[in-house]
Amino acid sequence: MQVALFFLIGLLVLALPASANPSCVQDDVNQAVCVQQAQRVLVLAPHLTEIVDFVGGMGKVIAVDGSSNFPESVNILPKLGNPWMLSAESILARKPDLVLVWQSGISMEVVAQLRKAGVPVFVSEPKKIEQVASTMRRLSALLGTEQRSASRIDDWLQQFKALRAEYSGRAIVPVFYQVWSQPLMTLGGQHAVSEVIELCGGRNIFVDLPNLAAQVSVEGVLKRKPEVLLASGSTRDHQGFLKQWAGWPQLPAVKLGQVYTIPNDILVRNGPRLIEAARLVCDHIEQARH
């Protein structure tokens, strides 16, 4: 399979003019993506918008999805709304020479139609920290920013390694991460949030779940006795989070007052600001040790 893919990439490169100097990468659905000096880039997922900015490619972006809100400068760009509601025709009308999408956030039928029309589409689905870094590297290659972003990407990864080293050997703290309240949902061991909890010396109490996200019961949470409760949200959301769990004083995290919210955009978007979320998670888990 890998040999065939690299052979296909080679054919795509040969099919372009010698002067084009194309860049080719493999996306997260194992498709070859080749571009020739992309200048009109559509970005249809918030984590991808943040990654493009991180690697220095925002000057080539002509429009973004409706949920992209960081960096602040993105707000001057046209916003195309919910990618699930976009047709291939409406995307093609923008005349992009590269489209960046989230596999879980768009119809793959639309992706197929775009590719059939000859538009390169990079499909992203990073689940781990290293996969986020890999996305950064591949997009920097497509955007022509490899040289100036390489050291920044390396430094970003190094910050996670430093956190892991700092908290290595400390008491392991069981943590419940709530992604949704009604129904009660959490993230399993395959998600980067679980990896962040682990590098901080915590343990996701539902790390054994086979799916990225799953519905769980209050009884299941009580049985696993988390010492920290985490959720994504705003300061206003935090009050509701506290109230939700106040009825379960036997829960160690509630009894010890270890109930926290992390700003939603930085934790569940698998992008550059994940390191900011990791520092907050580590601080909260450390509080539970004292």
Q: Note the pLDDT of residue 28.
A: 97
Q: What is the mean pLDDT of residues 73-100?
A: 97
| Contacts with 40 (C-beta within 8 Å, 6 or more apart), sequence order | 60, 62, 94, 95, 96, 97, 98
Closest CA to 231 of 271, 190, 272, 182: 182
User: How far is residue 188's CA from residue 203's CA, in Å, rounded to a whole number?
Assistant: 11
Q: For residue range 112-167, what is the model confidence (pLDDT) as tens digits?
A: 999 999 999 999 999 999 999 999 999 999 999 999 999 999 999 999 999 999 99
Q: Would you say residue 6 has pLDDT above 60?
A: no
Cβ(141)–Cβ(52) below 8 Å: no
Tokens describing residue 239: 């009050």
> What pLDDT sits at residue 118?
97
Average pLDDT for 3-14: 46
205, with CB counted inside 10 A (0-12, 13-18, 19+), is: buried
Q: Where are the domains of the chain?
A: 2-153, 171-288
Q: Quick one: pLDDT at residue 17? A: 47
Q: Which residues is 63 bridged to in the sheet?
A: 42
Q: How many residues can be counted in the chain?
A: 290
Alpha carbons 62 and 70: distance in angstroms, whole number: 15
pLDDT at 239: 82
pLDDT of 8 > 90? The answer is: no
pLDDT value of position 20: 56
Domain 2-153 in CATH 3.40.50.1980? The answer is: yes
Strand partners, 44: 101
Q: Is the pLDDT of residue 14 over 90?
A: no
- Higher model confidence: residue 16 or residue 223? 223
pLDDT reported for residue 242: 83
Average pLDDT, stretch 24-51?
97
Query: Would you identify the CATH topology of the domain 171-288?
Result: Rossmann fold (3.40.50)
Residue-wise pLDDT for 177-231, tens only, equals 999 888 999 999 989 999 999 999 999 999 999 888 999 999 999 999 999 999 9
| DSSP one-letter string for 199-236 | HTTEEETTTT-SSSEEE--HHHHHHH--SEEEEE--HH
Average pLDDT, the chain: 92
pLDDT(271) > 50: yes
